[in-house]
C-alpha cells in the first residue's frame, strides 16, 4: 500500500496534474498513444465520485461569486477535468474546481475556473439563455438516477444564467426554465461562480435516507473552443447523462412542497390602418388581460403546470414569406408555455442520421390557431339567411387574429421506476364575430361563429429498462370540435385521434441503437369533410392515373398507419452509420393535431459518416454520405437522391462546410394537384458556408446555394452574416440573403375539358395549366441587443423582405408520366393579353371549346417587420416586459424586382404598431 501511494505521488509530481476525482484521489495514471501523440489522462475512472457536504445554515453563504466563505474550504473538490474537444481525452488546459454544499431546501455549487490568462476570458453580457460567444461553467444533476435525464445549470463570467434539460441521454431542451440564483466574479486567478439551486427545481424521491445522484461539471473555454468535463464524455461514445459521475452523501432530504404561482397582467394598444367606413375599425384599440401560470408538485415525481388565459404578446412575429405551393407553411412554436417541456411529447421518429421524415404527430400551434370560418361560408350554409349578398354592396366583420385559449394544463415527470409521463390538455374558446352588410335598402347586422370550441389531449408514456438502455413508449393524441349542426361540418373534421407505440434499445455501451415507431390515425366527420380530406394535397385520392387510390364520397372516417425502423451505429472512433425504413399509408392524417405535408410513401434511407477528432491540421473534420429512395403505393419512385458533404473546423476556429446533392429523375404525384403523374427532371445542387471565429469582436460568414436541372431551371442564393460586439454588453448582427430562381413548371390551375374540344385529350379530360416564373427575393435581419445587467436587457429586431415573381408562357401539360408542355399561342391555341393584365386562352384555337381567362399572376411583395423587447427579471421568476412591434406590408402586381425602388418603398405603407406592457410575479419556494 505504501509503495503504491508513493508511486502515485511521484507520478502526479512528474506530470503536474491533479487526479480526476475528489482530492486527494486514490487513482492511478494511465498513458496511452493515439494518433501518434501521447495523451495523459489522470483519474481515468469514467464515472468518478464525490461527496456533498451538508450545512445547517444557508445564511453562511453570501451569493456574491467570491468563494471566500470558510465552509467552502472544507467541502470535497471535483477537479482534474478532461477535454471532449478539441483534443478528446486530453487533460484540460486550465484547472477547474467544483464543490457542492446543501441544506434541506437548496443546493449550493461553487466553481473556480482558474485561468493563466485572465485577460483572455471571453465574458460577454447578454440576456438569460442566450447563445453569444462566452466562457461557461455547468453543473448537471441526474436526480432521477435514470442515466437519461439531467437538470443543468450554467453561468458565464458575467453572471448570465442558462438552464438546460437533458433528455434521452443526449437531447437538449434549452427552453426549460428553472427559478434559481447565481453570481460570478472575474479575479486575477480566473473567474468564480456561486449558484443557489432550490431543491424544488429538481425531481427526486425521499424514499432513501442516503441518496446517490448522477452529477457532472462542464467548463467551456471559448477562445480555443475547449469543452471540458469532470466525468469524461468521449466523442467516440454515444450518450451524455449515462457518462455522469456520482454525487454521494446526500442525507435526510424531504421532498419539497413544489407550488409556484405566476399571475400576470398586461395591457396592449394596437394602432393599425383601416377603413374608416368599417363600423368595427378603431384606430386605437386598447385591451387589457389578466391570467397566470401555476406549477404544482402532485408527487415527488409529477408536476402539474397550468395556464389560464395566457398572453403571448412578447413573442416575436412570424417572418413574411411567399408560398406558391399547395402545402401549408411550417412555422416553429415560439410561445413559452408550449415550448417548455415539449420534449416529453416527441413521438414518431427514430434514432437515425437520415430519414424521409415522418409526419409530426403534435404541432402545438394548432392550439389557438387563426379562426377557420368565414362569413361567406356561414351565409351560404344558412341559405343567405344572415344577409342578402345580392343587395349588399359592402360587408364588414370583426374576426380576431387568433383563437383564445381559455386554459391549458400539462402533467409531466418521471417516476423512480423509470416511467416518464406527459399529458397536455387545452381548451380554446368559441370565437364569434359581428357583421354589418350595407346596401341601398339599408344595413343588416348580426353575429356568426368564426371558430368552434376545440379541446386537445396529448398523452405520452415512456418506460426505461436495463439502466436506461431500453425504452418502450406509448402515445395518444385526440382533438374534438364542437361543430354539430354548423357550417363547419362541411369542411372540418369533428374529431381526430393518433395512437402509437415506439421503442429504443441500445447495446455495446450505447454504441448501437435499434429504434422503431408505429402509429395509427383516425379522423371522423361528415361525408363532405372526409371527402375533402381524401382530396387534400397530403394524399390526392382523386389522382386520375392511380391504381391504388380513389375517392369514396360516402366515407365518414379516414384512417392510416405510419411506421419507421432504424438501426444506427451511434458511437465509434471514426465511422458511424444508420439504415432507416419508413412507411406512411395514404390515409394517415395528423393535421388537426400535428403537421403533415404528405402521406402515401415507402422509403429507405442510409447515412454514413467518417469523423477525425484530432487531426494534425484541423480541430476536427467530418465527411458524410446520405442516400434516399422512396416510392408511393402505386410504386412510382418519388425520391431518389444522393448527398455527400463535409465540415471542417480549423485550428484558428474558422469553419467550412459543403454539400453536393444529386437528384435523379423521379415522379411527382403532387405536381398536377390530383392529375396524372409528372416526371421531375433530375438536378444537381451545391452549397457551402464559410464562418470565421465567432469569439472575435467582429465575426461573420457567407454561403451560397446553386441548383440546376436538365430542363433549364435554376436557383441561386447568396447569404452572409456579420456580428459586431463593440462592448461586452452590446451585440449587433446583420444577416442578408438574396436569391433568384427560374422555374418552367409553376402550377396555375386545372380546367375541365369542354365536350366540344376538338384537340387530342392526353390528360384524362382535364387541362393542367402551368407557366414559367422568374423570381427574385431579398431579406435581411438586423438584431441589436443591449444588456444592462444579467437581469435586464433590450432586444431589437428589424427584417425587411422583398419578393417579386414574373409569370410567362402559359402552357398545358401534355405528357402524363413524363415531362412536356404545349405553350398556348405557340404550340396550340391562342393566348391574348387583356388590358387588365389577364390572359384569355382559346385552348384549341378555332375549335369548339370555349375560351377561358387566367388572371394576372405577377406579384411584388414588400414587408418590413420590427420589434423591441425590454425584459427585466426584477426578482427571480418575476418579469416586466415592455414591447413594441411594427409591421408594414405592400403589394403591387408588376412582377419586376428593383432593389433600390422596392427597398425605398418599404416605408410607404402605413404601419401597424403594437405596444404591450406585461408584468408577472413569481410566488414559490
Q: Report the range out of 8-22, 135-149, 197-211 with the highest average pLDDT.
A: 135-149
Q: Which three cell numbers stand for residue 103?
A: 441544506
pLDDT given at position 584: 97
146 falls in which pLDDT band (50, 70, 90)?
A: confident
Helix/strand/coil for 61 = coil
* Average pLDDT of the residues in 344-356: 91
pLDDT given at position 17: 32
Tens-digit pLDDT profile for residues 240-297:
999 999 999 888 887 777 889 999 999 999 999 988 889 999 989 999 999 999 989 8
Asked if the model's pLDDT at residue 119 lies above 70, the reply is yes
pLDDT given at position 579: 97
SS (H, E, C) 97-125: EEEEEECCCEEEEEEEEECCCHHHCCCCC
6 falls in which pLDDT band (50, 70, 90)?
A: very low
**Strand ranges (DSSP E) for 613-763?**
618-631, 637-650, 655-663, 666-668, 678-680, 683-691, 698-709, 714-727, 730-752
Asked if the model's pLDDT at residue 19 lies above 80, the reply is no
Listing DSSP states for 731-793 in one string gives: EEEEEEEEEEEEEEEEEEEEEEPPTT--S---STTEEEEEEEEEEEEEEEEEEEEEEEETTEE
pLDDT given at position 45: 53
Asked if the model's pLDDT at residue 9 lies above 50, the reply is no
pLDDT given at position 39: 34
pLDDT given at position 206: 67
* Average pLDDT of the residues in 22-47: 35
pTM above 0.75, yes or no: yes
Of the candidate ranges 527-541, 836-850, 881-895, the one whose mean pLDDT is the lowest: 836-850
Tens-digit pLDDT profile for residues 404-440:
999 999 998 888 788 999 999 999 999 999 999 998 8
Q: Are 709 and 681 in contact (CB under 8 A)?
A: yes
* Average pLDDT of the residues in 100-111: 94
Which residue do the cell numbers 490568462 mark?
117
* Average pLDDT of the residues in 898-914: 92
Of the candidate ranges 342-356, 618-632, 688-702, the one whose mean pLDDT is the lowest: 342-356
**What is the four-CA torsion angle of 551, 553, 558, 562, rounded to 10 degrees?**
0
Tens-digit pLDDT profile for residues 828-879:
999 999 999 999 999 988 777 889 999 999 999 999 999 999 999 999 999 9
**Mean pLDDT, the chain, integer:** 89
Percent of the chain with pLDDT over 90: 73
CA distance 266 to 253: 39
* Average pLDDT of the residues in 12-39: 30
170 falls in which pLDDT band (50, 70, 90)?
A: confident
Asked if the model's pLDDT at residue 10 lies above 90, the reply is no
Closest of 87, 20, 126, 190 to residue 649, by C-alpha: 87
**Strand ranges (DSSP E) for 429-570?**
431-439, 442-451, 454-465, 470-481, 495-507, 512-524, 557-569
Helix/strand/coil for 345 = helix
Amino acid at each position: 500500500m505504501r509503495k503504491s501511494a508513493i508511486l502515485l505521488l511521484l507520478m502526479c509530481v512528474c506530470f503536474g496534474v491533479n487526479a480526476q476525482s475528489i482530492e486527494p484521489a486514490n487513482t492511478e495514471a494511465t498513458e496511452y498513444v493515439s494518433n501518434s501523440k501521447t495523451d495523459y489522462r489522470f483519474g481515468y475512472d469514467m464515472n468518478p465520485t464525490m461527496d456533498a457536504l451538508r450545512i445547517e445554515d444557508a445564511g453562511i453563504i453570501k451569493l456574491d461569486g467570491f468563494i471566500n466563505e470558510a465552509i467552502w474550504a472544507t467541502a470535497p473538490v471535483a477537479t482534474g477535468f478532461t477535454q471532449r474537444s478539441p483534443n478528446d481525452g486530453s487533460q484540460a488546459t486550465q484547472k477547474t474546481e467544483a464543490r457542492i454544499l446543501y441544506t434541506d431546501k437548496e443546493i449550493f455549487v461553487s466553481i473556480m475556473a482558474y485561468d493563466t490568462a485572465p485577460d483572455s476570458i471571453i465574458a460577454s453580457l447578454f440576456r438569460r439563455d442566450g447563445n453569444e460567444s462566452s466562457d461557461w461553467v455547468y453543473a448537471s444533476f441526474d436526480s432521477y438516477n435514470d442515466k437519461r435525464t439531467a437538470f443543468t445549470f450554467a453561468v458565464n463570467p458575467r453572471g448570465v444564467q442558462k438552464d438546460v434539460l437533458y433528455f434521452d441521454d443526449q437531447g437538449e431542451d434549452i427552453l426549460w426554465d428553472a427559478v434559481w440564483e447565481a453570481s460570478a466574479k472575474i479575479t486575477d486567478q480566473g473567474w468564480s461562480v456561486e449558484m443557489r439551486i432550490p431543491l424544488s427545481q429538481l425531481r427526486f424521491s425521499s424514499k432513501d435516507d442516503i441518496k446517490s445522484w448522477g452529477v457532472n461539471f462542464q467548463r467551456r473555454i471559448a477562445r480555443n473552443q475547449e469543452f471540458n468535463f469532470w466525468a469524461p464524455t468521449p466523442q467516440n461514445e454515444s450518450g451524455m447523462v449515462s457518462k455522469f459521475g456520482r454525487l454521494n452523501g446526500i442525507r435526510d432530504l424531504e421532498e419539497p412542497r413544489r407550488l409556484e404561482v405566476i399571475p400576470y397582467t398586461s395591457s396592449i394598444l394596437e394602432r393599425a390602418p383601416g377603413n374608416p367606413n368599417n363600423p368595427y375599425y378603431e384606430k386605437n384599440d386598447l385591451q387589457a388581460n389578466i391570467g397566470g401560470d401555476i406549477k404544482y408538485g402532485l408527487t415527488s415525481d409529477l408536476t402539474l403546470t397550468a395556464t389560464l388565459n395566457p398572453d403571448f404578446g412578447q413573442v416575436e412575429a412570424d417572418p413574411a414569406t411567399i408560398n406558391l405551393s399547395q402545402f401549408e407553411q411550417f412555422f416553429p412554436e415560439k410561445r413559452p408555455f408550449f415550448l417548455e417541456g415539449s420534449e416529453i411529447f416527441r413521438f414518431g421518429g427514430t434514432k437515425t442520421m437520415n430519414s424521409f421524415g415522418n409526419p409530426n404527430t403534435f404541432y402545438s400551434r394548432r392550439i389557438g390557431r387563426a379562426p377557420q370560418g368565414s362569413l361567406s361560408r356561414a351565409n351560404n350554409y344558412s341559405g343567405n339567411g344572415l344577409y342578402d349578398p345580392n343587395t349588399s354592396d359592402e360587408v364588414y366583420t370583426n374576426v380576431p387574429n387568433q383563437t383564445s385559449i381559455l386554459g391549458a394544463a400539462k402533467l409531466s415527470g418521471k417516476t423512480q421506476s423509470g416511467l416518464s409521463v406527459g399529458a397536455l390538455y387545452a381548451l380554446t374558446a368559441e370565437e364569434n364575430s359581428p357583421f354589418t352588410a350595407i346596401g341601398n335598402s339599408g344595413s343588416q347586422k348580426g353575429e356568426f361563429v368564426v371558430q368552434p370550441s376545440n379541446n386537445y389531449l396529448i398523452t405520452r408514456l415512456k418506460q426505461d429498462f436495463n439502466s436506461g438502455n431500453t425504452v418502450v413508449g406509448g402515445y395518444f393524441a385526440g382533438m374534438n370540435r364542437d361543430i354539430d349542426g354548423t357550417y363547419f361540418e362541411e369542411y372540418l373534421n369533428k374529431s381526430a385521434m393518433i395512437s402509437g407505440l415506439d421503442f429504443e434499445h441500445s447495446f455495446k455501451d450505447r454504441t448501437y441503437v435499434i429504434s422503431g415507431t408505429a402509429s395509427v390515425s383516425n379522423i371522423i366527420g361528415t361525408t363532405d369533410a372526409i371527402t375533402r380530406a381524401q382530396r387534400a394535397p397530403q394524399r390526392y385520392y382523386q389522382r386520375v392515373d392511380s391504381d391504388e387510390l380513389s375517392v369514396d364520397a360516402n366515407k365518414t372516417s379516414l384512417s392510416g398507419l405510419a411506421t419507421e425502423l432504424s438501426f444506427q451505429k451511434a458511437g465509434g472512433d471514426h465511422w458511424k452509420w444508420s439504415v432507416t425504413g419508413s412507411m406512411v399509408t395514404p390515409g394517415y392524417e395528423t393535421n388537426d393535431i400535428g403537421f403533415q405535408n404528405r402521406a402515401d410513401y415507402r422509403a429507405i434511407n442510409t447515412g454514413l459518416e467518417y469523423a477525425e477528432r484530432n487531426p494534425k491540421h484541423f480541430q476536427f473534420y467530418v465527411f458524410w454520405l446520405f442516400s434516399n429512395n422512396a416510392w408511393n403505393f402505386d410504386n412510382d419512385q418519388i425520391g431518389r437522391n444522393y448527398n455527400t458533404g463535409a465540415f471542417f473546423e480549423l485550428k484558428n476556429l474558422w469553419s467550412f462546410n459543403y454539400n453536393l446533392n444529386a437528384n435523379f429523375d423521379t415522379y411527382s404525384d403532387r405536381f398536377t394537384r390530383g392529375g396524372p403523374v409528372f416526371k421531375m427532371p433530375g438536378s444537381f445542387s451545391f452549397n457551402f458556408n464559410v464562418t470565421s471565429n465567432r469569439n472575435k469582436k467582429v465575426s461573420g460568414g457567407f454561403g451560397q446555394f446553386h441548383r440546376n436541372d436538365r430542363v433549364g431551371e435554376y436557383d441561386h442564393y447568396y447569404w452572409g452574416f456579420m456580428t459586431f460586439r463593440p462592448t461586452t454588453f452590446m451585440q449587433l448582427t446583420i444577416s442578408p440573403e438574396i436569391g433568384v430562381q427560374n422555374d418552367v413548371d409553376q402550377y396555375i390551375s386545372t380546367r375541365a375539358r369542354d365536350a366540344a374540344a376538338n384537340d387530342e385529350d392526353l390528360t384524362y379530360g382535364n387541362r393542367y395549366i402551368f407557366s414559367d416564373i422568374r423570381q427574385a427575393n431579398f431579406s435581411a435581419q438586423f438584431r441589436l441587443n443591449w444588456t444592462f445587467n444579467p437581469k435586464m436587457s433590450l432586444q431589437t429586431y428589424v427584417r425587411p423582405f422583398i419578393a417579386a415573381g414574373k409569370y410567362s408562357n402559359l402552357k398545358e401539360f401534355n405528357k402524363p408520366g413524363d415531362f412536356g408542355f404545349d405553350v398556348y399561342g405557340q404550340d396550340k391555341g391562342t393566348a391574348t393579353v387583356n388590358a387588365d393584365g389577364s390572359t384569355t386562352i382559346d385552348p384549341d384555337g378555332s375549335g369548339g371549346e370555349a375560351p377561358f381567362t387566367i388572371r394576372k399572376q405577377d406579384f411584388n411583395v414588400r414587408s418590413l417587420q420590427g420589434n423591441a423587447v425590454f425584459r427585466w427579471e426584477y426578482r427571480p421568476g418575476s418579469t416586466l416586459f415592455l414591447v413594441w412591434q411594427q409591421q408594414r406590408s405592400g403589394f403591387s402586381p408588376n412582377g419586376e424586382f428593383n432593389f433600390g425602388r422596392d427597398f425605398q418603398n418599404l416605408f410607404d405603407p402605413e404601419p401597424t404598431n403594437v405596444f404591450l406592457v406585461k408584468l408577472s410575479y413569481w410566488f414559490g419556494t
